[in-house]
């Protein structure tokens, strides 16, 4: 019989360092949070478990962080748009095929993020995993980390959880919601191909254009005929021929194509029912996802003009996860608020009325937007901890908007600024004067109204 638990000897954990604001996780929300806090003049430390910053941009190769952007889209200037501008400076962008935005080159963005972190004066710790919060009563005072140096503590006056899965908040005892396994948005393994005949493939797309209405189950109607870089026919034909099992959900999206025949981001695997907070599911997703990707490439080679000589170029370094835990915050965002241009006194930014989850797609072509409230980042039961990114407090349908990477930069920038203002004014994240936070965000160029 395997014992239910083992007893570890008690030990003292050495303090690695101290800081004023500690950000755990460096995806779009964490990167924005750390930059915003540092620009407000407080000591800021950014902890990342992998060897580069950027999260889904660099790890899952998600290039098109602004694919919602069309004529008529209203959005706020902020650090998210700076990501695109900085990538252009590195010649690390290409035209995104279905919008007026730019696709980011995943590997180049690693260098973009390095430079932005260094220019902001952030202390960076790569290859460092934030494990568990340090608590004094109900106040978070830092985080225990694990790395090649062993188990060490980082002390901080404010901590921002940007892990994507609310790992720090959950382990601090913050109440969280978690959809049942059968209702979770699926995970994906992204891949890239080389050897694509760009001219022949684009001619095929022109003659067989994908549309949003082709794959979305529910839209407002205006999206139905909008172009989408969505491919289904090659995979349908492969399934009909028995070359791909019926239950394997290969189909999906291509992004930019380089002149040398490289398709750098192919999002064509989808695995529902996997829980990104469970290592067995993560392992299955990585291994099965690679298998599905290879089946997708075989179908593309056989049934898609221009892909006859295509080969695997690269896999994403980690799964693309869309949904897991969400905190129960001071305010819980609702789908009705997202879709009815909600306004809040504690607004820390705006985001277009863009939804993409659960088969619902709404593209912001009409100028509609909602305000993002500070309360969705503020756990109800723990002090001096903020949460940003896709695990903020919201219901199922609001998640379709709040999980978007550019929206994650909005919550990240708001959280980083709020933490910095709290530190500078000697108060807590819960008691911070939201008007001072809003004034600081306005100085950074953020639109909140």
Same domain, 22 and 171: yes
Same domain, 224 and 77: no
Same domain, 276 and 404: no
Please say whether the beta carbons of 28 and 158 come within 8 A: no
Q: Taking Cα atoms as reference points, which of 300, 226, 295, 288 lies closest to residue 263?
A: 300
Q: Report the C-alpha gap between 269 and 321 in whole angstroms.
A: 12
Domain assignment present for 7: no
291: confidence class by pLDDT, cuts 50, 70, 90:
very high
Q: What is the pLDDT of residue 55?
A: 97
> Which of 289, 315, 341 is the last residue in one of the domains?
315
Strand 230-231 versus strand 249-254 pairing type: antiparallel
H or E stretch covering 423: helix 405-425
Q: Report the C-alpha gap between 3 and 413 in whole angstroms.
A: 45
Q: What is the pLDDT of residue 182?
A: 81
> Which of 295, 315, 335 is the last residue in one of the domains?
315
Between the CA of residue 350 and those of 129, 292, 343, 364, 368, what are the distances in Å? 31, 37, 9, 13, 10
The domain in which residue 410 lies consists of 15-178+325-443
Q: Name the percent of the chain lying above pLDDT 90.
A: 93
Domain assignment present for 203: yes
pLDDT tens digit sequence for 195-240 = 999 999 999 999 999 999 888 889 999 999 999 999 999 999 999 9
Same domain, 161 and 191: no
Indicate yes or no: pTM above 0.85.
yes
437: confidence class by pLDDT, cuts 50, 70, 90:
very high
Bridge partner list, 153: 15, 144
Domain assignment present for 2: no
Same domain, 27 and 166: yes
Give the total number of structural domains in the chain.
2
Same domain, 189 and 275: yes
Comparing 372 with 359, the larger pLDDT belongs to 372
Q: What is the pLDDT of residue 381?
A: 84
Whether the predicted pLDDT of 174 surpasses 80: yes
Domain assignment present for 270: yes
**Burial (Cβ within 10 Å: 0-12, 13-18, ≥19) of residue 179:** middle
Same domain, 412 and 308: no
Query: What does DSSP assign to residue 271?
Result: B
Same domain, 295 and 401: no
Same domain, 116 and 50: yes
**CATH (domain of 397):** 3.50.50.60
Domain assignment present for 371: yes
Same domain, 285 and 189: yes
pLDDT tens digit sequence for 268-282 = 999 998 999 999 999
Task: Spell out where 5-149 has E strands.
Answer: 15-24, 44-47, 93-95, 102-104, 123-125, 129-136, 139-147
Same domain, 290 and 332: no
Same domain, 252 and 160: no
Rg (CA), the chain: 22
181: confidence class by pLDDT, cuts 50, 70, 90:
confident
Domain assignment present for 320: no
Domain assignment present for 223: yes
Domain assignment present for 74: yes
Q: Report the C-alpha gap between 240 and 67 in whole angstroms.
A: 31
- Give me the mean pLDDT over the 293-307 stretch: 97
């Amino acid at each position: 019989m395997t014992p239910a638990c083992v007893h570890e000897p008690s030990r003292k954990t050495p303090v690695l360092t101290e800081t004023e604001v500690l950000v755990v996780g460096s995806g779009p929300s964490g990167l924005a949070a750390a930059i915003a806090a540092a620009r407000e003049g407080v000591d800021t430390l950014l902890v990342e478990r992998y060897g580069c910053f950027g999260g889904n941009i660099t790890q899952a190769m998600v290039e098109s962080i602004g694919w919602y952007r069309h004529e008529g889209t209203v959005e706020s200037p902020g650090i998210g748009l700076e990501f695109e501008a900085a990538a252009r400076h590195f010649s690390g962008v290409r035209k995104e095929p279905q919008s007026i935005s730019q696709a980011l080159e995943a590997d180049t963005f690693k260098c973009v993020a390095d430079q932005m972190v260094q220019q902001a004066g952030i202390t960076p710790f790569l290859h460092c995993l934030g494990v568990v919060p340090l608590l004094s009563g109900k106040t978070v005072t830092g985080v225990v980390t694990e790395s090649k140096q062993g188990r060490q503590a980082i002390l901080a006056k404010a901590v921002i959880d940007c892990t994507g899965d609310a790992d720090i908040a959950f382990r601090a005892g913050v109440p969280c919601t978690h959809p049942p396994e059968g209702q979770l948005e699926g995970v994906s393994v992204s891949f890239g191909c080389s050897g694509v005949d760009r001219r022949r493939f684009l001619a095929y797309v022109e003659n067989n254009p994908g549309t949003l209405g082709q794959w979305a189950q529910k839209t407002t109607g205006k999206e139905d005929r909008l172009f989408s870089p969505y491919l289904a026919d090659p995979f349908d034909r492969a399934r009909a021929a028995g070359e791909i099992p019926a239950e394997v959900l290969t189909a999906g999206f291509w992004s930019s194509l380089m002149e040398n025949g490289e398709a750098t981001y192919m999002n064509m695997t989808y695995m529902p029912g996997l829980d990104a907070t469970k290592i067995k599911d993560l392992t299955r997703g990585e291994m099965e996802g690679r298998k599905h990707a290879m089946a997708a490439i075989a179908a593309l080679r056989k049934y898609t003009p221009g892909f006859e000589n295509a080969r695997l170029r690269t896999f994403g370094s980690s799964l693309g996860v869309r949904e897991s835990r969400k905190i129960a915050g001071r305010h819980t965002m609702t789908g009705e608020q997202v879709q009815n241009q909600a306004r809040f006194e504690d607004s820390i930014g705006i985001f277009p009325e863009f939804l993409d989850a659960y088969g619902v797609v709404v593209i912001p072509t009409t100028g509609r937007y909602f305000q993002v409230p500070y309360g969705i980042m503020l756990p109800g039961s723990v002090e001096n901890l903020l949460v940003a990114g896709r695990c903020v407090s919201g219901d199922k349908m609001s998640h379709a908007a709040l999980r978007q990477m550019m929206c994650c930069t909005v919550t990240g920038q708001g959280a980083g600024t709020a933490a910095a203002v709290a530190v500078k004014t000697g108060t807590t994240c819960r008691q911070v004067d939201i008007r001072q936070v809003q004034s600081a965000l306005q100085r950074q160029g953020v639109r909140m109204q």
